[in-house]
Amino acid sequence: MFKAVTDIFFDLDHTLWDFEKNSALTFQKILKEKQLEVELDKFLDIYVPINLNYWKLYREDRISKSELRYQRLKRTFDKINVHVSDELINMLADDYIENLSSFTNLFPHTQDVLEYLSPKYRLHIITNGFQEIQEKKLKGSKIHHYFDQIINSETAGVKKPHPYIFELALEKARVSPKKALMIGDSLEADIMGAQSVGLHALHFNAHSEPQHDLCKMIDSLIEIKSIL
C-alpha cells in the first residue's frame, strides 16, 4: 500500500504523546496547588470537549493563542458552577503550559513502533502544538532522537490543515509528496490536510470516530508494523 514511501510524518499530540492522560495529570497537580476544590473527573468531562472545540477555532485562526488558553478554562469553570477569578484563570493557564511537558506518557507501542520504523524510514513531526512545549514533550518522553525534521505551526506561520505547513515539511525533509506518509489522529487537520498536497495518509483513530473511506484507519499504533 505504501511501497513508495521513504518518509513518515507523525502528528504528536493524541497520536504519539498521550495528551489526555498527561493533561489530566497536569490538572490534578495544578488544581491541588491552587487549592481549588474541584472534582477532577467532573472537571475533565467538561474540559476535554471544550478544549477540542477551542483548538478547532484556533486551527481556523478564529481565536488567538491567549484566547484559547483563557477561554477553555473559563468556560469549563462556568459550566461546573465554580467561580474563579480572571487572575486565577490566567495563573492556571500559565501553570498548565509550564507543567504539561513534565508528564511523559506515550500511547501504547509508540517506542516499539518508532524503533521498528527508524531503520527503514526517515521520521518527522508536524504539530500544531505550542512551540515552547513540543520539543520538551519529545525530549521528556525520550523520543526526540527518532525524528529528523520537527515542523511546528508557530514557526511555519500556519496550522494544519493549511497546505503550506505540509509543503514546508516536505521541503525541509527534501521529499516528494508521493514518497511521504502522514500519520495522525485528526481527520481534518492531519488526514485531509496531508491529502490536499498529495501525501499518503494513515488515520490513527484515537477518538473512536466512525469508519470512513478517505484512507486506512488503525485503532492501535502496533498495527503500523503490519502495514509498513
* Residues 110-147 pLDDT 10s: 999 999 999 999 999 999 987 778 999 999 999 999 99
E-strand ranges in 176-215 read 180-184, 200-204
Count of helices and strands (H, E) across the chain: 10, 6
Nearest to 13 by CA among 106, 92, 98: 106
Work out the mean pLDDT of the chain and round it to a whole number. Answer: 96
Percent of the chain with pLDDT over 90: 94
Instruction: Tell me the CATH architecture of domain 19-100.
Output: Orthogonal Bundle (1.10)
The pLDDT value recorded for residue 131 is: 77
Residue written as cell 488544581?
A: 31
Q: What is the pLDDT of residue 130?
A: 76
pLDDT digits (tens, 9 = 90+) for 88-118: 999 999 999 999 999 999 999 999 999 999 9
Task: State which CATH number among 3.40.50.300, 3.40.50.12640, 3.40.50.1000, 3.30.1490.20 fits the domain covering 7-18+106-227.
Answer: 3.40.50.1000
**What are the boundaries of each domain within the chain?**
7-18+106-227, 19-100
List Cβ neighbours of 32 (8 Å cut-off, separation of 6 or more): none
Q: Per-residue confidence at 1, pLDDT binned at 50, 70, 90? A: confident
Specify the higher pLDDT residue, 132 or 32: 32
The verdict on pTM exceeding 0.75 is yes
Contacts of residue 223, defined as CB under 8 A and 6 or more positions apart, other chains included, come to none
- What single DSSP character describes residue 223? G
Helix (H, G, I), strand (E, B) or coil at 177: helix
Distance CA 71, CA 189 (A): 22
Residue 63 pLDDT exceeds 80: yes
Distance in angstroms (rounded) separating the CA atoms of residues 96 and 102: 10
Q: Does residue 197 surpass a pLDDT of 90? A: yes
